[in-house]
Structure 1
Amino acid sequence: MPRAPLPIGTWGAISTWVVQTDDKGKAVKHKSQARFRDHDGRLRPVSAYEKTKTAAERALLTKLQDRAKTNQSGELTSMHKINHLLDLWEKRFEGLVSDGTRSPTSLDTYRRALKNHIRPALGELRIGEATTPRLDTVLAKIKTMSGAATAKTCRAVISGAMKLAVRYGATSVNPVREVDAIEAKPKNPPRALTAEEVTLLRRSLASDDRAVQADLPDLVTFMLGTGVRIGEALAVLWHQVNLEAGRVEITHTIARIPGEGLLRKTTKSRAGERVLSLPNWGIAALRTRYAAGIRLDEPVFADALGGFRDPSNTRRSLRTALSPVGSTARRDLGRSLRTLRRKTGKTRKQVAEALGWPQTRIELIETGRIKVDQQLVADLIKTYSIKLENFPDLQAEIEAAAQPAESDKLAWIRSHALRKTTATALDEAGHTARQIADQLGQAKVSITQDVYLGRRAANPAAAEALEQAFEDPDLLR
């Protein structure tokens, strides 16, 4: 039987011999050579020269491995490492971002998943070793350690990479297809603000000096009136607003890209490009801003220098504004705790490190923006080498600060809750899911229904229909 041909991208036996000696007959140069089956199917000799036999063979092996990685015909082999496959996938995704068909924020998210989870767990394996059981185990571990959301992101990246491996001939099937779906109950099920909460929110922001300074009242009003994402709201320029027609054009969003800074980029999909009608109270808020003086090429919600605002910083300002301040007692307690810390000569950072807390938590406590209790304060002042029972006045302040405040009702709100509120209001007004998805700029109606619409109250007409269907007493026996 004829000998089976070498697989493409592999090589045969390595031969090494002396090609040069010195005057004394000592070998000073060796040549190593092997036949390599190139990506066009032809066998070609590959050689390397070094002083010693071992060095020559090592140099040749390096050249052969590098040649195997050279993608002359778009193929991989099952012997390539997954790290190499991930490099190809990442480069391809970068091309999609450059073409404008994928978001740079998605690329940033996937790169974090690659760096922190996927490469450490799978990078040194061969493509052929990426079996369904092994991938299932890796993803289950990521879910346990980092949560379902991170595991879903990693699953999407691995699946995309293995699809690439199938197309390039390194494997015949995508092993991720049979991996268990990653499911978990959402931490925060869809919840919309009630009409009373909307009123309380707008009144609370308008009366908070820090919220007004951060330009939150009008921004929140705009988001409630349109249902746009926070990045989309911050990307709107004045020339996109038609106050006479009561409309606003949504075409871009603001995102911070590592290494590039703030970018005004197109929306996530074509569905995100839309023209929205504004409610009268939304138009009134924009008219007030317009009257203060604007430039058509400036953002409607600009920073102090007239440029674009960072969505992350704006979300942080909103969280701070909605923290449970609500009472003078909490601010008084915060000042007392700050005084005690300063008497010890400790910084917030030192206290936070001693307790294993984020430094921002100490700041929120000392500014009265966290609802505290006896145990939390006791743990805190223990780092000051004092005992709570020795400060009766402080205990009284804690009891007063622990009392419920009206603003506690707002502490759960995040920027996406505003979108859910808009969607739910439209749903209750009888708009279809397709109309609501178009308002929100979402391509898939299922996402709108599952994530952004608050559950309606039980249908009272259902009981009436069932009563009529089963009113015959004989059916109830």
Structure 2
Amino acid sequence: MPRPPLPIGTWGEISTRPLKTTKNSKPTKHQAHAKFRDHDGKVRAVTATGTTKTAARAALLLKLQNRAKTNHSAELTAAHKVNHLLDLWEKRFEGLVADGTRSPTSLATYRRALRNHVRPAIGELHIGEATTQRLDAALTGIKEHAGAPTARTCRAIISSAMKLAVRYGALTVNPAREVDAIEANPKHPPRALTTEEVVLLQTCLTADEHAVEADLPDLVTFMLATGVRIGEALAVLWNQIDLDNGTVEITHTIARLPGEGLIRKTTKSRTGERVLSLPTWAATSLRARHAVDIRPATPVFPDTIGGFRDPSNTRRSLRTALSTVGSTARHELGQMLHAFRRQKRLSRKQAAQTLGWPQTRLELIETGRLKPNHQLVSILAKTYGIGLDSTSDLFAQLKEAIQQTDSDKVAWIRCHALRKTTATALDQAGQTARQIADQLGQAKVSITQDTYLHRQPANPSAAQALEHAFDDPDLA
């Protein structure tokens, strides 16, 4: 009966023999030898040397183990740890990024989720131990500590990795497939700006010297006119704009990658590559920006030195511009709180750490850029050793500061709200969901409908349509 073949990735018995000897026939060098069955099924001889038999065997054993690991890179068993599976999954995703079929920003997001959440939660489990119940419990914990969006990202990673384990024979079914869906109410439901809010937004931005210096009025106009993402807007070059025909070509986006800095990369998908027509008011705005001697391959909305702008910094600039000093009363209240903090000999950083607040929140309060309330000022007063109700000047100033101002109406606006505003305007104009999705550069119409379209009031024509549908006196 023939001897059964070695399993792939394993080796046979290790033997040793002397290679060099002294004049006294004392061995000074040994060779260890074994047969190894490679991933292609062929059996090959593998050798290693050492000054002693033990050293030669140890060197060969390490060589064989490394060779087995390399040859098993596309094979898994239920005994492998999940971390090994995640390594393989991450390597494959890197290949997709190199091929241009996946975005490098997606890889950065997934690596962050792997490092901070997925590996700590399930990495040390064996693949066979990653049951639906364990995965469900792990994702529930991630949702509680990091929020639903992060948990959804982790669920996508785990499901894709377990799918790989099924494909390579480590599992027979994907245990992540039956994990409960991660649901949560959206933090910011779809909301579009009204016509009044659009006018007020532009008024606030054009009146702010710093916002004008940062090109925010023109940038907001361009985003409302096109519905593009902030990164896409910042990636547009002058040679992609045809002012004669009133069109703009969207092909790239700006992103910041860890260790690489700002990059101009292709859009999220092929659907994102599109040519958009510009309203006349947007073309007029761009024509006013266009200089005769401007270079075609430069950004339309550059930074201070003519390069590409960071989307995160631009978002921050917009937030700051819209968190304007709401009233003289808020400014004076902020100055009063600033003085009390200084009397306590606390720096802004020290006070923020004591309160457990971001330092920027305290800055917004002291500069009058955040609408205060009784509870917020009471906490600050207590921190500074002051009784709010017993300090008449502070209490009176608070009463004035909490009054509504025009700037409060636009303080909620973020870059994505502009995109939703464009989508909603197109919807109200009678555009189909497919047409709106194409304008926004989205492949799935469902995302456009669920995330970007502001819910309309009850349809008045519905009552007319039903008026005579059940026109039966017996129903009265």
TM score, norm. by length of structure 1: 0.89
Aligned to 2:24: none
Amino acid paired to 2:342: R
Q: 1:358: how far off?
A: 0.8
1:114 and 2:95 aligned: no
Aligned to 1:313: 313
Q: Distance in 1 between matches of 2:387 and 2:414?
A: 37
Q: 1:339: how far off?
A: 2.5
Equivalent runs, 1:261-340 vs 2, <5 Å: 261-291=261-291, 294-323=294-323, 325-340=325-340
Aligned to 2:168: 168
Equivalent runs, 1:35-50 vs 2, <5 Å: 38-41=38-41
Q: Distance in 1 between matches of 2:12 and 2:173?
A: 28
1:420 and 2:423 aligned: no
1:392 and 2:392 aligned: yes
Aligned to 1:190: 190
Contact 1:324 1:410 in 2 (8 A): no
Q: Distance in 2 between matches of 1:320 and 1:237?
A: 26
Amino acid paired to 1:378: S
Aligned to 1:246: 246
Q: 1:2: how far off?
A: 9.9
Amino acid paired to 1:333: L
Contact 2:73 2:88 in 1 (8 A): no
Q: Tell me, which stretches of 5 or more residues in structure 1 are unaligned?
A: 21-27
Q: 1:57: how far off?
A: 8.6
Contact 1:9 1:77 in 2 (8 A): no
Q: 1:360: how far off?
A: 0.9
Name the stretch that deviates more: 197-206 or 44-53: 44-53
Q: Distance in 1 between matches of 2:172 and 2:139?
A: 21
Contact 1:39 1:73 in 2 (8 A): no
Q: Distance in 2 between matches of 1:266 and 1:120?
A: 33
Q: 1:389: how far off?
A: 4.5
Would the alpha carbon gap of residues 178 and 375 (structure 1) be closer, same or farther in structure 2, given more than 3 Å must change? Answer: closer
Amino acid paired to 2:106: S
Contact 2:9 2:71 in 1 (8 A): no
SS in 1 for 2:256: strand
Aligned to 1:206: 206
Aligned to 1:25: none
Q: Distance in 1 between matches of 2:173 and 2:471?
A: 57
Q: 1:221: how far off?
A: 0.8
SS in 1 for 2:286: helix
Q: Distance in 2 between matches of 1:147 and 1:339?
A: 37
| Deviations 1:148-197, CA, capped at 9 Å, x for gaps | 11111111111222222233333333222222222222121111111111
Q: Distance in 1 between matches of 2:158 and 2:396?
A: 56
Contact 2:38 2:71 in 1 (8 A): no
Would the alpha carbon gap of residues 461 and 375 (structure 1) be closer, same or farther in structure 2, given more than 3 Å must change? Answer: closer
Amino acid paired to 1:373: N
Q: Distance in 1 between matches of 2:292 and 2:43?
A: 76
1:86 and 2:79 aligned: no
Aligned to 1:433: 433
| Deviations 1:212-267, CA, capped at 9 Å, x for gaps | 22221111111001100001111111111122211111111110111111111111
Name the stretch that deviates more: 29-38 or 267-276: 29-38
Q: Distance in 2 between matches of 1:115 and 1:335?
A: 43
Q: 1:375: how far off?
A: 2.7
Contact 1:324 1:405 in 2 (8 A): no
Q: Distance in 1 between matches of 2:29 and 2:381?
A: 74
Q: 1:205: how far off?
A: 1.2
SS in 2 for 1:317: helix
Would the alpha carbon gap of residues 146 and 18 (structure 1) be closer, same or farther in structure 2, given more than 3 Å must change? Answer: farther
Q: 1:130: how far off?
A: 2.1
Q: 1:464: how far off?
A: 1.5
* Number of residue pairs the alignment of both structures matches: 476
Q: Tell me, which stretches of 5 or more residues in structure 2 are unaligned?
A: 21-27
Name the stretch that deviates more: 268-277 or 168-177: 168-177
Amino acid paired to 1:443: A
Q: 1:280: how far off?
A: 1.7
Q: Distance in 2 between matches of 1:147 and 1:449?
A: 23
1:134 and 2:134 aligned: yes
Q: 1:125: how far off?
A: 2.1
Q: Distance in 2 between matches of 1:396 and 1:16?
A: 93
Aligned to 2:473: 473
| Deviations 1:284-320, CA, capped at 9 Å, x for gaps | 2112212586332211111111111100011111112
Aligned to 1:342: 342
SS in 2 for 1:388: coil
TM score, norm. by length of structure 2: 0.89
Q: Distance in 1 between matches of 2:89 and 2:185?
A: 31
| Deviations 1:440-464, CA, capped at 9 Å, x for gaps | 0111111111111111221112111
Q: Distance in 2 between matches of 1:471 and 1:252?
A: 57
Equivalent runs, 1:435-450 vs 2, <5 Å: 435-450=435-450
Q: Distance in 2 between matches of 1:75 and 1:59?
A: 24
SS in 1 for 2:92: helix
